[in-house]
């Protein structure tokens, strides 16, 4: 008997959007089952139905042979289903143990029972979390572990992870995979959503591909290539090699000298960084998350004040300028957390106007017509899946939100683009498209500063690479001087690589 059987599941959202069109497949007990699909394919929708958060419009789901009633998450939890969200559902001001106790309360578990269970689970799977620490103070990787433990305390037999690795550093991904393998040994069934084909190959036993709300197929992971999976997802050949010619860099666009910047906690995050970015080139900044890249970028775009040093944009020192002045000088910023660049409850046109209202204001009157037509234009050009520009952006799938943010900034025609994790959470097709856009920008003489923790992305796009480690640039040079291995070592603090 399969652990889960999806039987002709349809989902039509209240606004008429058909997210699932007759999904049927089975997940075997004790397997790690990958779920792949382009942005907007319906992965999260299907998982939210399985977790009882939303109801299907028609169809059925059997869990260990028993038909689900769709009476809300507790129905699902009692049937042994646990979900680890990408946005965690923990209470920040409470300790880990308080969070775990609260979440197990409806099952009739007392604090003492919870404590015992948690200790057993941690022992069994070799995972440690600080139980008395406030959740606020924990790094995301640890919060994710709390979510996993939370599901296990509730005795989950099936664990759903929706893009769990997109918030993790490479080391944390390794640790997560170790834990998942351990859980599989214990007999748990795991559904694992990711856009990274390499992760599918590394951790799953079988994989199901969705495209536009339909199942394209289920394959044994060992019997299918990455290229074939990509083709199944996108419905056409996918290029993994970007064609690009040599850079023809011109004069300097951005010069950072001896820059010192503090992190939120008051400690130095950037310690005397020097960088030069020229028009017509892509400078890639590699590094494990948390080594000062975030603070460096924030100083450059004007949202964090450096303590010492200078940042010259087109020859002008921009230290002390506010972000909107810097923006008007032709610098576009694509932040890595889409929620910082978008207002979720606002529609697409409103989100366009967030940063581009000046372009559509004539004699202090905003032209909604102009803004609407530009929004439609962007949706077309960047193949964003959105049936209306009038709907709140939160109703777009995650990847399409990210694409919109990027499209909004790129289509403004900036000369200098600062992009932080621009393809985070994007499917292969969209990733390919965005990377091509960045190369085209470079070829048309723009300067691109790319911050990415994805080494493949750094190697594929950069003309020059700078590696950051503990607030310093520990290596810098033409991309040809680096290999994946050397980058990995440098990022890990092994000087000289």
Ligand X SMILES: Nc1ncnc2c1ncn2[C@@H]1O[C@H](COP(=O)(O)OP(=O)(O)OP(=O)(O)O)[C@@H](O)[C@H]1O
Interacting residues with Mg ion (CB under 5 A) = 44, 398
3-state helix, strand and coil shares in percent for the chain, rounded to the nearest 5 = 40, 25, 35
Decide: is 40 part of the binding site for ligand X (CB under 6 A). Answer: yes
CB of 392 to ligand X, least distance (A): 9
Neighbouring C-beta atoms of residue 493, cutoff 10 Å: 12
Q: Which residue is nearest to Mg ion (CB)?
A: 44
Per-position b or e across 276-314, b if 16+ CB within 10 A of its CB: bbbbbbbbbbbbbbebbbbbbbbbbbbebebeebebbbb
* Identified binder of ligand X from the candidate list 23, 36, 37, 458, rule CB under 6 A: 37
CA distance 450 to 465: 9
CA distance 218 to 156: 24
Asked if 29 and 3 touch (Cβ cutoff 8 Å), the reply is yes
CA distance 155 to 369: 54
CB under 6 A: which stretch of 10-18, 143-151, 168-176, 337-345 binds ligand X? 10-18
Backbone angles phi, psi at 482, to 5 degrees: -115, 150
Is 497 strand, coil or helix? Answer: coil
CB-nearer residue toward ligand X: 210 or 259: 210
Asked if 21 and 46 touch (Cβ cutoff 8 Å), the reply is no
Asked if 8 and 20 touch (Cβ cutoff 8 Å), the reply is no
CB of 136 to ligand X, least distance (A): 26
CB of 191 to ligand X, least distance (A): 12
* Identified binder of ligand X from the candidate list 278, 294, 395, 446, rule CB under 6 A: 395
- How many alpha carbons lie under 13 Å from residue 412 in its C-beta half-sphere? 27
CB-nearer residue toward ligand X: 326 or 348: 348
CB of 423 to Mg ion, least distance (A): 15
Residues 62-81 that bind ligand X (CB under 6 A): none
CB-nearer residue toward Mg ion: 401 or 460: 401
CB of 210 to ligand X, least distance (A): 7
Q: Classify residue 480 as exposed, middle or buried by CB count within 10 Å of its CB (0-12, 13-18, 19+).
A: exposed
User: What string marks each residue from 44 to 63 as x (binds ligand X by CB under 6 A) or -?
Assistant: xx------------------
Decide: is 34 part of the binding site for ligand X (CB under 6 A). Answer: no
Q: Which does 431 bind (CB under 5 to 8 A by kind): Mg ion, ligand X, none?
A: none
Q: Which helix (H) or strand (E) holds 476?
A: strand 472-478
Scan for tokens 């910047």, then name that residue. 261
- How many alpha carbons lie under 13 Å from residue 178 in its C-beta half-sphere? 11
CB of 489 to ligand X, least distance (A): 32
CB of 12 to ligand X, least distance (A): 9
CA distance 35 to 25: 11
CB under 6 A: which stretch of 129-137, 198-206, 392-400, 459-467 binds ligand X? 392-400
CB of 27 to Mg ion, least distance (A): 18
* Identified binder of ligand X from the candidate list 9, 36, 41, 215, rule CB under 6 A: 41
Q: Which does 395 bind (CB under 5 to 8 A by kind): Mg ion, ligand X, none?
A: ligand X
User: What string marks each residue from 348 to 387 as x (binds ligand X by CB under 6 A) or -?
Assistant: -------------------------------------x--
* Identified binder of ligand X from the candidate list 399, 414, 429, 471, rule CB under 6 A: 399
> Which residues of the chain form contacts with ligand X (CB under 6 A)?
13, 15, 17, 19, 37, 39-45, 385, 395-400
């Amino acid at each position: 008997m399969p652990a889960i059987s999806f039987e002709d599941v349809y989902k039509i959202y209240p606004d008429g959007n058909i997210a699932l069109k007759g999904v049927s497949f089975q997940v075997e007990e004790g397997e790690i089952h990958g779920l792949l699909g382009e942005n907007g394919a319906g992965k999260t929708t299907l998982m939210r139905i399985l977790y009882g958060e939303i109801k299907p419009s028609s169809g059925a789901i059997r869990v260990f042979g028993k038909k689900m009633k769709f009476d809300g998450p507790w129905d699902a939890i009692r049937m042994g289903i646990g979900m680890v969200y990408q946005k965690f559902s923990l209470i920040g001001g409470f300790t880990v143990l308080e969070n775990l106790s609260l979440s197990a309360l409806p099952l009739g578990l007392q604090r003492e029972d919870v404590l015992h269970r948690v200790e057993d689970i941690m022992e069994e799977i070799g995972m440690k979390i600080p139980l008395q620490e406030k959740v606020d103070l924990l790094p995301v990787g640890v919060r994710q572990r709390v979510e996993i433990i939370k599901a296990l305390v509730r005795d989950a037999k099936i664990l759903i992870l929706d893009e769990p690795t997109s918030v993790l550093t490479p080391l944390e991904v390794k640790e997560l995979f170790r834990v998942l393998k351990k859980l599989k040994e214990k007999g748990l069934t795991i559904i694992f959503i990711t856009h990274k084909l390499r992760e599918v190959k590394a951790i799953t036993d079988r994989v199901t591909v969705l495209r536009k709300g339909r199942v394209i197929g289920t394959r044994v992971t060992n019997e299918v290539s990455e290229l074939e999976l990509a083709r199944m997802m996108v419905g056409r050949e996918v290029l993994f090699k970007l064609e690009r010619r040599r850079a023809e860099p011109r004069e300097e666009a951005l010069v950072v000298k001896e820059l010192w910047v503090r992190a939120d906690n008051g400690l130095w995050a950037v310690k005397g960084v020097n960088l030069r970015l020229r028009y017509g080139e892509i400078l890639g900044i590699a590094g494990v998350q948390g080594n000062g890249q975030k603070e460096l970028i924030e100083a450059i775009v004007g949202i964090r004040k450096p303590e010492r040093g200078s940042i010259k944009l087109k020859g002008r020192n921009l230290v002390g300028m506010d972000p909107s002045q810097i923006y008007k000088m032709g610098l576009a910023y694509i932040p890595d957390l889409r929620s910082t660049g978008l207002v979720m409850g606002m529609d697409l046109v409103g989100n366009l106007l967030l940063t581009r209202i000046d372009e559509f204001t004539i004699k202090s009157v905003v032209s909604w017509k102009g803004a609407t037509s530009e929004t439609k234009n962007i949706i077309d050009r960047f193949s964003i899946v959105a049936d209306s520009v009038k709907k709140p952006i939160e109703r777009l799938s995650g990847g399409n939100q990210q694409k919109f943010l990027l499209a909004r900034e790129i289509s403004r025609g900036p000369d200098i683009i600062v992009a932080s994790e621009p393809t985070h959470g994007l499917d292969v097709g969209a990733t390919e498209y965005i990377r091509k856009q960045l190369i085209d920008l470079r070829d048309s003489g723009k300067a691109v500063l790319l911050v990415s923790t994805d080494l493949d992305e750094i190697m594929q796009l950069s003309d020059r690479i700078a590696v950051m480690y503990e607030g310093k640039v520990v290596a810098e040079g033409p991309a040809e001087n680096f290999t994946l291995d050397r980058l990995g070592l440098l990022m890990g603090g092994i000087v000289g690589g």
